[in-house]
Amino acid sequence: MRSARHGGMPALLAALLLAGGCTSTTGWLDRDGDDRSENRDVDGADVSGYLRTMRDLAAGDPATKAEVFARVDDAVLQAPTTTNKLRLALALATPGHAGADPERAREMLTEILARAELLLPAEVTLAELQLEVVEQRLLLETENRQLRARYERAADEDRRRLEQQLAAARAQNRELARALEEAEEKLRAITTIERSIRERSDADEQR
C-alpha cells in the first residue's frame, strides 16, 4: 500500500501543477509566515512542500514522523495562517503516524475550503482531494465499526445460546443421574427382597 501511495506522488503533483497553471517550486510550506491576505501570484502552484510533509509523515521513521508533525502543529500555534492551517489539516489527514486524526482533518479542510478564495488553485485541488480521501476513510471506518458490532452481537448471541444449551444439557444430565440412582436403589431393594425370599424358601425346605 505504501509503495502505491508514493508512486502516485509525482502524478498528483503534476496534476496540481497543471491545475494552477505554473511550475513554480518556491515551496510555500517552508514559509511559516505566509498569509493568504497578502498579494501573491494567483498562478503559483507549488505544492511539493505539502506533499513532502505528507510523504514524511506516511513513510518516515517514527522519530521523523513525530518531529515533522510537531513542527507542523507548532507552526499553527505560532502563526495561524491559511498555509499553516492547510499544512496541519493535510498532516492530520495523512495516516501512518501518531498525530493522524481524520475527524479533525475533515473539519479543518471543510473550514479551509469554505474560504477557497484565500487558496491558490493547486491548494484547492489538493485540499479537495484529501477531503474526499478522508471522508471515504471515515465512511469505511464507520462501516467497519458497524460490521464489527454486528459480528460481536452475533458472537454474543451464539455464546449465550451455547451456554443455555450447555446449562440445559447439564440439567438434563443431573436429572438422568438422579433417575439412574433411583433406579439402582429400586434394583438393590428388589434384589434384597428376592434374596430374602430365596433364603426363607431354602429355610422352609430344610425343615
Would you give the distance in Å from CA 184 to the centre of its chain?
61
Q: What is the rounded distance in angstroms from the CA atom of residue 29 to the CA atom of residue 52?
A: 9
Cα–Cα distance list, 126 to 51, 56, 89, 165, 199 (Å): 9, 17, 11, 58, 107
Residue 108's pLDDT is what? 96
Residue 24's pLDDT is what? 35
Single-letter code of the amino acid located at 122: A
Q: What is the tens place of the pLDDT at every residue in 17-69?
A: 444 443 333 333 344 444 444 434 333 347 889 999 999 999 889 999 999 99
Single-letter code of the amino acid located at 66: A
Q: What is the overall mean pLDDT for the chain?
A: 80
Residue 196's pLDDT is what? 84
pTM greater than the 0.75 cutoff: no
Closest residue by Cα to residue 9 from 66, 38, 40, 52: 52
Residue 42's pLDDT is what? 37
Residue 207's pLDDT is what? 65
Closest residue by Cα to residue 13 from 126, 171, 137: 126
Q: Which residues of the chain have pLDDT under 70?
A: 1-45, 204, 207
Share of the chain above pLDDT 90, in %: 64
Residue 95's pLDDT is what? 93
Query: Quick one: cell of 33?
Result: 509566515
